[in-house]
Structure 1
Amino acid sequence: MTGPLKHIRVLDLSRIMAGPWAGQILADLGAEVIKVERAGVGDDTRKWGPPYMKDKDGNQTAESGYYLSVNRGKKSVEIDIASAEGQATVKALAAKSDIVLENFKVGTLERYGLGPDDLHAINPDLIFCSITGFGQDGPRAKDVAYDFMIQAMGGLMSVTGAPDNTPGGGPQKVGIPIVDIMTGMYAAISVLAALAERTQSGKGETIDIAMLDVATAMLANQAMNHLVSGDTPVRRGNKHPNIQPQDVFPVRDGHIVLAVGNDEQFQRFAAAIRRPDLAEDDRYATNRERVKNLDTLHPLICTQLGERDLADWIEIFGAQKVPCGPINTVPMVFAEEQVKHRQMLRDLPHPLSGTVPSVVSPMRFDRSALSFETPPPLLGEHTDEVLAKLGLTTEAND
């Protein structure tokens, strides 16, 4: 392995998305990530299809696209943690690991003798990170949670989607499991911070990450807009609540996204659409006034943009350094020249299909370059290898 974490071993007891996303980040950074899966069953997401990957002969496999998206670079070990033998194996792995990731319901691992106190007794240096829906304490601590419900509870759906009084208005979730992904990001940041602190203290750490906490933190500017004004943020469609013009605008042959971020950019934008007078109008000259007077500014912009095609505007705004872009479909994203140049999509070798496409990490390092050579593992693919290193046998965990 290469990467800045090539000296780190992670015991990943998590499943589905948030925990595995954190594990995949650490694997991308070079850590050895040992993914523990239920014997004969595996991670829940292995069955979250269609679609499923096809093998070299075009036959459908049991590897779902969902599972493949979040388990790159890991080693899969089948263990029955409900058995005494399985618990002994997890302890043996934890004794030689730096980090443990888990997202069981509160109290589950403690019942198996695998809670943070149990594992710290074996390995005091261990960074133990628990990821749950609601955290380790509080009135809902023991409740199960999924991304969709936390998007709702955490307020994200109240500010996402078209306004209630417009066609298609109403609550809308984000099109990806954004709370799961951000929870995984916060978990990865937390364990890396704990590793850094361990170099000073020599001590391990226990980390408590809750999806609802993450969703609350993600409200960011919308939360502060409410806290400083007392107003309740609402769904505005694609209109930014604080900066204008930032929206989806119709052009002659489709739509364009504009993200004009300051008054200087607005001056260049107004000149580009052949309405330089807008930047001199007191109603629109400053961002504060543009937000207040958006109801009159928006139709003026739409009128001008409707006179040309998308490609024309992309070229014009590009020359004027006005931030803009097309609304790409997922296939169009991978066809973008910049995305291709950055090699964000790569083919990894896979024992069933020959190769499997993978959207790789966006992190770039000069001295500790990341490598992407290991695909998401088959169920139990590395059981013999990993347990042999510990001097254990697979029979003890069957």
Structure 2
Amino acid sequence: MSALPLSGIRILDLTRVLAGPLSAQMLADLGADVIKIERPGTGDDARAFGPPYLKDPDGRANNNNSFYLCANRNKKSVTVNIASAEGQEIIRELARDCDVFMENYKVGDLKRYRLDYETIRSLNPGIIYCSVTGFGQTGPYAPRAGYDAIFQAMGGLMSVTGHMDGEPGAGPMKVGPSIVDYMTGMNSSIGILAALYHRKANGGVGQHIDVCLLDTVIASLSHWAQIYLLNGQSPPRRGTWGNGGMPAGVFRCADGELMLVAGNDGQFSRACAVLGAPELATNPKFVKNNDRVTNGKEIMAIFAGLFLKHTVAHWLEALENAGVPAGPVNDFAHVFADPQVRSRGMEVKTEHPFESHLSLIRNALTFSGTPVKDYRYPPLLGEHTAEVLASRLGYDAAKLDALKRQGVI
């Protein structure tokens, strides 16, 4: 079996909270050696984002919560106070032999510490320096801070998410998880991988990558935003209705709900037969998908009445046999108990000092030749400080002790 795809790549990760750490975790899963820099004493801001926390062996309070655990496996935690001159020098020394430098500070913050791209590039011309921010490195909003929900609102995602106008609870709605952070992390990883390839193929030239949450959420709206660019009209909120093929949405059954998407005319015809109303497939108002989109409220209301006649299990079996895409509306307990999810191994176990079998979510990439199998637990705060500074920078025990007494590490 080959080494992991990014074996030999060294990454210095100064990111905090979610988007940047998720990106660094993805690269660590793929074999990169990732050193996570944290603030002495408190660490990554995510560690204080609230419960649930792991219980340590003595039942004491700690800073290993779900927010931190989801984005920091396979890394080494090194505590460095970058507000101190000595701490800044440690970061510059570590950056000299790294391939990638990641940060998500406000625009200009690291320049006053001489940890900005120009300074780091002067020490390491081949460095790939990735900056993850809310609004990007340029533009009138560049200095602003922000979090995922702000960008769901500003980028237009909330305007097209939620119940339809006129329905109870109508109005803009946030997507549950921090989806813009996750997508920004993916974009950061893509940019870093592309820059690493460019450097290798074009003579060792590094570069600065500018990734931000606002750009990411706008780009992610794809065909929804394209509607506006095409006709100047913002699409309305459609609740659980689909974005293309119709009928598509959540339908209540005798004992719960399911999601159905009739993505083409053939699927619609077969769905009508399953529901006991084959005549709908030849009704002029519903024959073609464009007809069903035009008459969406009518066909959705008809389907809603038909689905009430039987249970979710009854309909799912019948629809699957007919080749019509449908699925249950699962909570997380059902998700991780689902036989398909279990067969794909989406829940992985790792040994943690506080939990002998800590569950994590596996990397979603599956390789035939270089599979991701190593899931090292998200490190305790500062767990690898002495190891990394001794092995990478040659610091002896006396120097490490002095730096610790000074609050530098």
Equivalent residues in 2 for 1:235-254 (5 A)? 235-254=237-256
In structure 2, distance between residues paired with 1:322 and 1:144: 45
TM-score by length of 1: 0.97
Q: 1:2, 1:370 within 8 Å by CA — same for their partners in 2?
A: no
Q: Summarize deviations over 1:347-394 as a string: whole Å, max 9, x none.
A: 111112223110111101111111233110100000011111121343
Q: 1:15, 1:43 within 8 Å by CA — same for their partners in 2?
A: yes
Seen in structure 2, the aligned counterparts of structure 1 residues 83 and 61 have a Cα distance that, compared at 3 Å, is closer
1:86 Cα offset (Å): 0.9
Q: Summarize deviations over 1:9-36 as a string: whole Å, max 9, x none.
A: 1110000011001011111111111100
Q: 1:53, 1:64 within 8 Å by CA — same for their partners in 2?
A: yes
Residue in 2 that maps onto 1:320? 322
Equivalent residues in 2 for 1:70-85 (5 A)? 70-85=71-86
In structure 2, distance between residues paired with 1:354 and 1:294: 52
1:168 Cα offset (Å): 1.0
Residue in 1 that maps onto 2:233? 231
Task: Report whether the alignment pairs 1:222 with 2:224.
Answer: yes
In structure 2, distance between residues paired with 1:366 and 1:167: 49
Q: Summarize deviations over 1:274-329 as a string: whole Å, max 9, x none.
A: 22222212211111111001121112111221111000111101111111000101
Task: Report whether the alignment pairs 1:187 with 2:183.
Answer: no
Q: 2:38, 2:78 within 8 Å by CA — same for their partners in 1?
A: yes
1:61 Cα offset (Å): 3.5
Q: Which amino acid aligns with 1:318?
A: E
Q: 1:75, 1:381 within 8 Å by CA — same for their partners in 2?
A: yes
Q: Which runs of 5+ in 2 are unaligned?
A: none
Residue in 2 that maps onto 1:62? 63
In structure 1, distance between residues paired with 2:56 and 2:318: 46
Task: Report whether the alignment pairs 1:20 with 2:17.
Answer: no
Q: 1:2, 1:369 within 8 Å by CA — same for their partners in 2?
A: no
In structure 2, distance between residues paired with 1:192 and 1:380: 27
Q: Matched residue of 2:211: which SS?
A: strand
Q: 1:56, 1:354 within 8 Å by CA — same for their partners in 2?
A: no
Q: Summarize deviations over 1:160-200 as a string: whole Å, max 9, x none.
A: 11023211111110000011111111000000010111111
Q: Which amino acid aligns with 2:369?
A: R
Q: 1:360, 1:372 within 8 Å by CA — same for their partners in 2?
A: no
In structure 1, distance between residues paired with 2:104 and 2:334: 35
Q: Which amino acid aligns with 1:90?
A: I
Residue in 2 that maps onto 1:391? 394
Q: Which runs of 5+ in 1 are unaligned?
A: none
In structure 2, distance between residues paired with 1:207 and 1:39: 28
Q: Matched residue of 1:23: which SS?
A: helix
Equivalent residues in 2 for 1:293-308 (5 A)? 293-308=295-310
TM-score by length of 2: 0.94
In structure 2, distance between residues paired with 1:13 and 1:269: 52
Q: 2:244, 2:263 within 8 Å by CA — same for their partners in 1?
A: no
1:58 Cα offset (Å): 5.8
Q: Matched residue of 2:120: which SS?
A: helix
Seen in structure 2, the aligned counterparts of structure 1 residues 335 and 76 have a Cα distance that, compared at 3 Å, is same
Task: Report whether the alignment pairs 1:32 with 2:26.
Answer: no
In structure 2, distance between residues paired with 1:56 and 1:305: 51
Q: Summarize deviations over 1:28-72 as a string: whole Å, max 9, x none.
A: 111111100011110011111111112346665331111111111
Task: Report whether the alignment pairs 1:270 with 2:272.
Answer: yes
In structure 2, distance between residues paired with 1:5 and 1:368: 10
Q: Matched residue of 1:62: which SS?
A: coil
Q: Which amino acid aligns with 1:164?
A: D
Residue in 2 that maps onto 1:205? 207
Residue in 2 that maps onto 1:155? 156
Q: 1:55, 1:354 within 8 Å by CA — same for their partners in 2?
A: no
In structure 1, distance between residues paired with 2:85 and 2:280: 74
Q: Which amino acid aligns with 1:41?
A: T
Equivalent residues in 2 for 1:79-94 (5 A)? 79-94=80-95
Q: 1:26, 1:188 within 8 Å by CA — same for their partners in 2?
A: yes
In structure 2, distance between residues paired with 1:229 and 1:128: 39
Q: Matched residue of 2:192: which SS?
A: helix
Residue in 2 that maps onto 1:110? 111
Seen in structure 2, the aligned counterparts of structure 1 residues 81 and 58 have a Cα distance that, compared at 3 Å, is closer
Q: Which amino acid aligns with 1:144?
A: A
In structure 1, distance between residues paired with 2:249 and 2:60: 44
Q: 2:52, 2:66 within 8 Å by CA — same for their partners in 1?
A: yes
Q: Matched residue of 2:259: which SS?
A: strand
Instruction: Determine what percentage of the aligned residue pairs are the same residue.
Output: 44
In structure 1, distance between residues paired with 2:305 and 2:61: 50
Count of aligned residue pairs for this structure pair: 398
Q: Matched residue of 1:63: which SS?
A: coil
Residue in 2 that maps onto 1:366? 368
Residue in 1 that maps onto 2:96? 95
Q: 1:20, 1:70 within 8 Å by CA — same for their partners in 2?
A: yes
In structure 2, distance between residues paired with 1:230 and 1:107: 36
Q: 1:76, 1:379 within 8 Å by CA — same for their partners in 2?
A: yes
